Each structure stands twice: as C-alpha cells, then as structure tokens.
C-alpha cells in the first residue's frame, strides 16, 4: 500500500467521525404538538426569543406548520409549530390543519407534547393515542402552571397524564412567566443528533417575509373579532415590495370573508375596526421588516374558500408550501 492510499484512508476515516459522534455540533427538529389553545405557539416564540408564530386566546389560531430556527455556536434547534390537533370539523380547512399537525410527527428528533395544567380533554387523549404508536422520544410540557398557586393541586392531574401518555419526561412550565424554558432546551438537546447545521445560521424560519406578513394581519383578525368571523376569514397578500425611492415597504392585503355580513363586521362602524387592525398590524410589520411600512387593507367576499380544496391551495393552504 502506498503512502498516498494510506493517507486517503485516514482522511476518509477522519471525516466520517467528524460527521457523527465526534462532531460537537448538534442540529435537529423538535415538533411542538398538542390540542388547540394549550400555548404551543407562545412556547415556540419564547424559545426563539422572537415572535414568529401568531397567537390568540382563540383555538385554531395557527393554521400552518412553521419552523422556528434557533442557532448558536454549539447547536441548531428547529422547532416545528403546528396547528392544534382537533376532533370534528368537516370542512377542508379543518382537514388541512389536522393533516398539517399529523405530518409534523414524521422525521423529527423529539416531540414536545404540550398540555394545559389541570385541563385534560378528549382531544388530548387523541394526541396521546397517536404518540403511543410512534417511536420518537416524547417530552410532555405541562404549560400554564401560573394558573395554580398551590402546585400540590396539580398532583391528580400529573398522575392522569402519567397514566395516559407514553413519555420520557414531563416538564412543568409557564410560557407567560418564562419559567421552565431552560429545562426544555436542555431536554431537547439530549435527543438532537450530532451533525452540522441544517439551515444557514442567519435563517430564523423556513417561511418568507410575505407569509409572515399575512400571518400578522390574520392574528389581528383573530384577536379583534368576535367568535365566528375569524374562522371564516383569511388573508391574501396582493402586493409586497420595497419602494427604494420612498424607502418604505408597500403592502396591500386582502381580508377574505365568506359572507356579506362578515364583511361589514370586519370593517366595523365607520371603518373603525379595520383601521385599528391596520394600526396594530403595521406596528408588528415594522418590527418584522425593520423599516417603514405603508399598509393597505381591503375586505373581499370569497364564498366557501374554507371548504374548497382548490381555493385553499391558491391561498397558500398547501401541504407542499413554497412560501
Ligand atoms: N396563563 C397562561 N396562558 C398562556 C400561557 N401560554 C400561552 N397562554 C395563552 O393561551 C392562549 C393560546 O396560546 P397559543 O400559543 O395561541 O396556543 P396554541 O393554539 O397551542 O398555539 C393565548 O391566549 C396565550 O396567551 C401560560 O404560560 N400561561
Ligand atoms: Mg398556535
């Protein structure tokens, strides 16, 4: 064997080892799952130290899967926020949301199953049942413990969760109070493979600014409107560009609703509601885009968008999204 061949072998062996256990860097995926409204998106935002995923007190605020990427010199954790898995709802949009949530189970390194302290429902049972059939480590995050002054009151609930969920660990947390968050990170790192970065370090999400802008506006709808309208509405960005001369972003967005009555509700008396939503959305857009923003909002009726597969796909409710 010549010296040349020997050195080549050595180099190959060396590089192999670098890619595996000897690689000090860790990178991988942590899916955040659970029923609607337990605090999944709030937790992901807190873990990232940045608001990426929209939140509200209404169930089913999150409709799309979104990656939040947290990169340091030692590791890259990719959190996958998902729509809440829910029972019932016959429409195409419900089907899309459940499909999206289910698809997050595949190809992740660890699952963060979020439950709400003291409140176990049938929908939690449905999630637990799915987890029992898969082979990915499960960390239960018992969120909203700030609702309990006396932690001992949670013992019966803890017992119930222990009986029903096949899990590796349980961490009591409060996303509001930012308590327990360090423990989540520590636990996730136990399961992330030793490998190089998956996304370039400057990436904070897999979604475009245009997509995030539409989500910000949708959040204002979820937060401002009453019970019914938000579920029948969505947001379509018509124009999204930076005007070099005026040095500001020009954004035109359509708020789509399904019925005439809903249009009037979104607009509000003398246009007051849509104006308020515009002011709030603009504030968040300025933070997102780090520049001046001119925002125009319009309301349009598009019947049955939420129960029409083709309409959904054209609005970005697409399993193979590109935005
Ligand atoms: N009390 C309390 N409320 C929380 C906490 N985390 C989230 N929430 C609230 O729970 C609601 C649902 O949160 P969200 O993140 O949208 O839930 P998701 O549907 O699971 O993504 C919102 O009103 C949040 O402000 C927490 O730690 N404590
Ligand atoms: Mg959410």
pLDDT tens by residue, 275-314 = 999 999 999 999 999 999 999 999 999 998 999 888 888 8
Q: What is the pLDDT of residue 168?
A: 95
CATH number where 259 lies = 3.30.300.20
Q: What range defines the domain where residue 130 resides?
A: 8-189
Tell me: do 163 and 241 sit in the same domain.
Answer: no
pLDDT band at residue 99 using 50, 70 and 90 as cut-offs = confident
Instruction: Tell me, yes or no, whether 148 and 216 share the same domain.
Output: no
Q: Between 98 and 18, whose confidence is greater?
A: 98
Domain contains 198: no
Q: Residues 97, 146: one domain?
A: yes
DSSP string, 245-313: TTTEEEEEEEEEESSHHHHHHHH-GGGHHHHHHHHHHHHHHHHHHTS-EEEEEEEEE-TTGGG-HHHHH
Average pLDDT over residues 157-179: 97
Q: Does 279 reside within a domain? A: yes
pLDDT tens, residue by residue, 74-92: 999 999 999 988 887 778 8
State the Cα–Cα distance between residues 125 and 35, nearest whole angstrom.
9
26 lines ligand 1 (CB under 6 A): no
Distances in Å between the Cα of 309 and the Cα atoms of 58, 62, 304 are 24, 18, 10
Q: Are residues 114 and 252 in the same domain?
A: no
For the chain, the domain total comes to 2
For 38, residues 6+ apart whose C-beta sits below 8 A from its C-beta are 84, 114, 115, 116, 143, 144
The finding on whether 57 has its CB within 6 A of some atom of ligand 1 is: yes
In this structure, the chain runs to a length of 323
- Say which residue the tokens 């423990």 belong to: 183
Whether the Cβ atoms of residue 188 and residue 30 lie closer than 8 Å to each other: yes
Looking at 156, 189, 222, the residue that finishes a domain is 189
Q: What is the largest CA-CA distance in the chain?
A: 87
Q: Are residues 21 and 62 located together in one domain of the fold?
A: yes
Whether the pLDDT of residue 7 is over 70: the answer is: no
Asked if residue 242 and residue 174 are part of one domain, the reply reads no
Does ligand 1 come within 6 angstroms of the Cβ of 37?
yes
pLDDT in tens, 44-75: 999 999 999 999 999 889 999 999 999 999 99
What integer pLDDT is reported at residue 321 of this predicted model? Answer: 58
User: Could you tell which of 55, 173, 179, 184 is best to mutate to test the pocket of ligand 1, judged by most ligand atoms within 8 Å of the CB?
Assistant: 55
pLDDT band at 20 (very low <50, low <70, confident <90, very high): low
- Distance from residue 40's CA to the centre of ligand 2 (Å): 5
pTM over 0.95: no
Same domain (yes/no): 289, 249 = yes
Residues 173 and 308 in one domain: no
Give the number of the atom of ligand 1 that is nearest the alpha carbon of residue 36: 19
Under 8 Å CB-to-CB from 102, ≥6 apart: which residues?
85, 130
In this structure, are strands 234-243 and 169-172 parallel, antiparallel, or unpaired?
A: unpaired
94 lines ligand 1 (CB under 6 A): no
- Regarding whether 20 and 145 lie in a shared domain, the answer is yes
Ligand closest to the CA atom of residue 45: 1
The verdict on the CB of residue 55 being under 6 Å from ligand 1 is yes
**Residue 59 CA, ligand 2 centroid: distance in Å:** 8
Site to probe by mutation for ligand 1, drawn from 42, 59, 98 as the one with most ligand atoms within 8 Å of Cβ, is: 42
Whether residue 15 is predicted with pLDDT greater than 60 in this model: the reply is: no
């Amino acid at each position: 064997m010549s010296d040349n061949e020997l050195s080549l072998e050595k180099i190959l062996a060396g590089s192999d080892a670098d890619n595996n256990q000897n690689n000090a860097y860790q990178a991988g995926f942590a899916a955040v799952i659970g029923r609607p409204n337990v605090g999944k998106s709030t937790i992901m935002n807190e873990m990232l130290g940045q608001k990426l995923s929209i939140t509200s007190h209404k169930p089913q605020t999150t409709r799309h899967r979104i990656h939040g990427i947290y990169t340091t010199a030692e590791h890259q954790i990719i959190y996958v926020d998902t729509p809440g898995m829910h029972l019932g709802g016959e429409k195409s949009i419900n089907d899309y949301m459940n499909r999206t949530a289910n698809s997050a189970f595949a190809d992740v390194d660890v699952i963060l199953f979020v439950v709400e302290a003291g409140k176990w429902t049938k929908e939690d049972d449905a999630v637990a049942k799915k987890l029992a059939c898969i082979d990915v480590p499960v960390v239960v995050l018992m969120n909203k413990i700030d609702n309990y002054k006396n932690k001992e009151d949670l013992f019966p609930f803890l017992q119930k969760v222990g009986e029903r969920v096949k899990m590796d660990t349980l961490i009591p947390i409060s996303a509001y109070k930012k308590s327990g968050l360090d423990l989540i990170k520590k636990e996730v790192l136990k399961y992330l493979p030793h490998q190089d970065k998956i996304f370039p370090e400057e990436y904070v999400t897999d979604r475009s600014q245009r997509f995030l802008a539409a989500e910000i506006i949708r959040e204002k709808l979820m937060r401002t409107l009453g019970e019914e309208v938000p579920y029948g509405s969505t947001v379509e960005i018509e124009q999204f560009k930076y005007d070099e001369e005026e040095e500001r972003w020009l954004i035109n967005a359509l708020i789509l609703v399904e019925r005439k009555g809903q249009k009037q509700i979104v607009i509000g008396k003398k246009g007051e509601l849509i104006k308020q939503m515009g002011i709030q959305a603009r504030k968040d857009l300025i933070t997102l885009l780090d520049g001046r923003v001119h925002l125009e909002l319009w309301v349009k009726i598009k019947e049955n968008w939420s129960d029409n597969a083709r309409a959904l796909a054209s609005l970005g409710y697409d399993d193979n999204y590109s935005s």
